[in-house]
A and B are shown apart, each in its own frame.
Chain A
């Protein structure tokens, strides 16, 4: 199994609070991704990174920001959580473009 750790795995938070999800990898892969998974929508890309301090937006980036200060860590921040951001969040990594993507186990976030 690829060495990907997501934290926290489960979180309940209140509307309007900031939330940070962490993804840590031990594979030294260059590319890291944050997806959200919702019924009827499949997987949707939020943000991705192609190197330290190099990030770009995905298709559903509004309300989210990311940071990557080290190769192994990719943080996803919900600046002011809303109920529409209740979802399962998956971190993923890949060595290079076109190659296999490895997924973390997911972080279940509930915004009340």
Chain B
């Protein structure tokens, strides 16, 4: 079956530090890949996505590149801010049995940014 593996958190950084959150996946088909962000007390919201190999998704200074050869979609940001403190989820969407796409999420990585 499909699965997504994210690095364990929390990740603790100082403001303006470089961020990398690793994400690898297994899928039977050719999935779309996503990063979602969850702020305290809220639902998840899309941060960025990529639908085919070598695509780069980007938003709000965050980037991730769809690497089919390494089955990875690592999230990066060059300079984090305190406001980036949140939980980040890597996810994929692929065709499951019966023709329905089932989204699969990683367990989430908590990011804490200190001033």
Number of interface residues of A (CB under 8 A): 26
Give, as a whole number of angstroms, the nearest-CB distance from B92 to chain A: 9
Number of interface residues of B (CB under 8 A): 26
Of the candidates B43, B89, B91, the one whose C-beta lies within 8 Å of that of A106 is B43
A42 touching B106, Cβ below 8 Å: yes
- Complex Cα–Cα for A70 and B43 (A): 23
Q: Which residues of B contact A99 (CB under 8 A)?
A: 32, 93
B101 touching A97, Cβ below 8 Å: yes
- Complex Cα–Cα for A102 and B47 (A): 11
Query: Quick check: is B66 within 8 A (CB to CB) of the other chain?
Result: no
A104 touching B43, Cβ below 8 Å: yes
CB interface residues, B 69-89, toward A, < 8 Å: 89
Task: Using A42-B89, A42-B108 as known contacts, say yes or no to A101 and B43 having CB atoms under 8 A apart.
Answer: no
A103 touching B44, Cβ below 8 Å: yes
B93 touching A98, Cβ below 8 Å: yes
Query: Quick check: is B115 within 8 A (CB to CB) of the other chain?
Result: no
Task: Using A100-B34, A100-B49 as known contacts, say yes or no to A45 and B102 having CB atoms under 8 A apart.
Answer: yes
Of the candidates A48, A96, A105, the one whose C-beta lies within 8 Å of that of B42 is A105
Question: Which B residue sits closest to A42, measured CB to CB?
Answer: B107
Question: Which A residue sits closest to B95, measured CB to CB?
Answer: A97
CB interface residues, B 12-57, toward A, < 8 Å: 31-32, 34, 36, 41-46, 49, 51
Task: Using A42-B89, A43-B89 as known contacts, say yes or no to A98 and B32 having CB atoms under 8 A apart.
Answer: yes
B43 touching A45, Cβ below 8 Å: no
**B-contact 0/1 string along A43-72, CB 8 Å cutoff:** 101001010000010100000000000000
Interface residues of B (CB under 8 A from A): 31-32, 34, 36, 41-46, 49, 51, 89, 91, 93-95, 98, 100-103, 105-108
A-B contacts, 6 of them at CB < 8 A, read A35-B105, A45-B103, A97-B101, A98-B32, A99-B32, A103-B43
